[in-house]
Amino acid sequence: MATFQQQKQQILQVFDQVIAFAKLHKYSDTLKHLEQGQKHLAEGKLLVVVCGEFKQGKSSLLNAFLNETGLFPVDIEVTTNLVSTITYGAKEKISVVLGEQNKETVKQIQRDEIPDYVTEQRNSRNAKKAKMLVIESPNPQLKEGLVLVDTPGIGSLNTEHTAITYAFIPNADAILFVTDALKPLTTEELDFLKKRILPHTKNIIFLITKIDTLASSDQEVVLENNREKLAETLDCSPRKISLIPVSSRAKLDYLEYDEITDLKHSNFEELEQTIWQLVSEQTGQTFLLNALDELNQCLSEIKAPMQVAWNAHQNCTKEELDAQEHQIKDTQKRLQDLLSNNAKWRTILTDGLQDIRTNILQSAEDGFTEISQQANRYLNDTTLLESPEQIASLLEVDIDAMISKLGQKLSNLASKLQRELESISELDLKRLESNSLEIKRNIKFSPDDVKCQKTGTWGKLMQMTRNASFNMTAAGTIGGIAGGAIGSFFGGVGSVPGYYLGAVIGSGLAGLVGLVTGAKEGLSQVREKNKHAISLLIKQFISESQKQCNRTLIQGIVELERSMRNELTNQIERQKQAWERTLNSLQEARKLSQTKASEQAKDLQISLQQLTQLQTTVEKKAQMILNEPIITPSVQSPSSKTQPKTKQTVTKATTTNKDYGDWADE
């Protein structure tokens, strides 16, 4: 079995071979699809979001994981206040996104300027209006598409940054939930886990940092205590809770002194293997299958015209060739009919989305009824009445979670509708299988023979890739919340329905940020903490939020209809072009003289053998990924870790970590 990284590189090599073949035979349309598919696989992102309270060791953890001694600010007084991301790039490039919603600018900065934007000490209450720090690095830990997201501590001072953090969570392939060995799990941490993370993902890796600060006899006590609290929150047996104790200090010592015992004591080997196991089995598998799906379709598009031409030279009778040509024309006509404005699937799409609209808006109404009831419970809490701004913050969390949940429900309903459309409207014939184009003696050739298999390898693969296309992506959601300037850093597929839906949901969450800010300002001005006055402001906030939510959901459905319509139309047009090339190839072959036909048949046989071998390779890889688990990668050897640029840099960074170590926020 191969690791995700190995499989990815192997599939990229297959793309190179098929692209070379498409260029040689001048398949320009198919070449475009191949290059896009290869790019999507190469640039696919695997998001790992780091969450936890302030000063739990998050930034130091990331430095240690990346084999860096001083990338993220670490100091006993430092408090991170900004969402930061780090992804792979050919050379180091650090950008900070600044400005108001939809008016962002991107500023390039140097590494030593990072604290000026991401720390509360140098950018108090975000006076510089920073939204996100985006780091591109040639770090080998990131080369296979891993994106690490460092979030502000739970209960961040900045509402907008909190919203961006909350937007990352539903799109995360894995969450690193970081706790501190020296501090018991707090109610706030457990509430965050239960309300903000669990509704969206179960892909959570629980970490305890600073484990080196405890005596061996105390470590198991702390682990068991945290395990019991997490089990209660997750409503499961403590035995099912896996906790990974790590020491960033030990890993950073290893980077300086190259002592293998430090690496062992850090326990980062287990952390790396766990992260890669989780993301490979989830999103990583989808990336690979999407790529193989595209390869399979492109290979069929290349092979079909050659197959029918070769068939024409195999002593076929005129009647047999006429029958095959007639059936191909019938398929073309059926595809052309599907492109007409009165095609059945267009009505099904419109009616289906209207039903979804009714369903989703009713769910939103029910959700806001529950939120109003929750608001009443908050208003009956005398402690919260003393600081009513907290009520707005709590309601923000509730509404935020509900909008994200409704977005996921919308995605699921749309995915189901798409499958119904393909079945009812016969759009499932989109895949042209060249092995069905052989002349069948005494058997009438039928377009029903030319379809994607509903069972077996490609049937399973299509089901998985179809569902994945409706999932909201970070590129869409984060771009929607913080502007296109941020979303553009993450790349990804921008044409699938999930991308557009994510952007709309992100915009809705961004609108909620403004409402929360306004509500807090109004509540802060209420004198003598008058419950009636506070209640009126809270009700107004909920009412405005409900209007914002409804606008967001309606716009999401509009975007879904547009993107689904475009995607289905593109599928039909692509198949129509493929059948047209196939028909032209058959007709041209029939015009050749016997001598020319014989020469062409020899050339075609060589090409067809090569294509068949490539198809076999692609199918075997698909079967392997579908039927066998992806194994974890080998942990980097000591010789392959990232080395600091100069001795002076190492000494300075190490001194900082020696003084404060994992005590900072790190």
In the chain the domains, ranked by start, together with CATH numbers, are 45-266 (3.40.50.300), 344-428+481-572 (no CATH)
Handedness of CA 211, 217, 220, 222 (dihedral sign): negative
**369 vs 360: CA distance, rounded Å:** 14
Which pLDDT tens digit goes with each residue over 517-564?
788 888 888 867 788 899 999 999 999 999 999 998 998 899 889 888
Least confident of 49-53, 62-66, 155-159, 341-345: 155-159
pLDDT of residue 306: 94
Q: Would you tell me the crossing angle of helices 318-338 and 531-591 to the nearest 10 degrees?
A: 160
- The alpha carbon of 73 is separated from its chain's Cα centroid by a whole number of angstroms, namely 27
Instruction: Indicate if the pLDDT at residue 444 is higher than 60.
Output: no
Which pLDDT tens digit goes with each residue over 240-295?
888 999 999 999 999 999 999 999 999 999 999 999 888 877 778 888 988 998 99
Residue from 306, 302, 310 nearest 615 by CA: 302
Residue from 195, 169, 177, 176 nearest 478 by CA: 169
pLDDT of residue 486: 58
Which strand (E) or helix (H) includes residue 205?
strand 204-209
Burial of 471 (0-12, 13-18, 19+ CB in 10 A): buried
Least confident of 73-82, 124-133, 509-518: 73-82
98, β-bridge pairs: 105, 130
Per-residue b or e along 563-574, where b marks 16 or more CB atoms closer than 10 Å to that residue's CB: bbbeebeebbeb
**511 vs 503: CA distance, rounded Å:** 12
Name residues whose C-beta falls within 8 Å of residue 311's C-beta, 6 or more positions apart in sequence. 324, 437, 438, 439
Both tokens of residue 554?
Answer: 């309606």
Which pLDDT tens digit goes with each residue over 20-29?
999 998 899 9
- Residue indicated by tokens 């390039």: 108
pLDDT of residue 593: 92
Which pLDDT tens digit goes with each residue over 176-185?
999 989 888 8
20-23 contacts at long range (C-beta below 8 A, 24 or more positions apart):
21/302, 21/607, 21/610, 21/611, 21/614, 22/298, 22/302
Tell me the pLDDT band of 658, cut-offs 50, 70 and 90: very low
Which pLDDT tens digit goes with each residue over 566-601?
888 888 899 899 999 999 999 999 999 999 999 999
**321 vs 316: CA distance, rounded Å:** 7
- What is residue 162's three-state secondary structure? helix
pLDDT of residue 467: 62
**77 vs 58: CA distance, rounded Å:** 14
**481 vs 165: CA distance, rounded Å:** 10
pLDDT of residue 78: 55
Which pLDDT tens digit goes with each residue over 405-415?
888 888 889 88
When the pLDDT of each residue in the chain is averaged and rounded to a whole number, the result is 81
- What is residue 496's three-state secondary structure? coil
Higher pLDDT, 168 or 253: 253
Mean pLDDT computed over 383-394: 87
Which strand (E) or helix (H) includes residue 108?
strand 105-109
Higher pLDDT, 638 or 628: 628
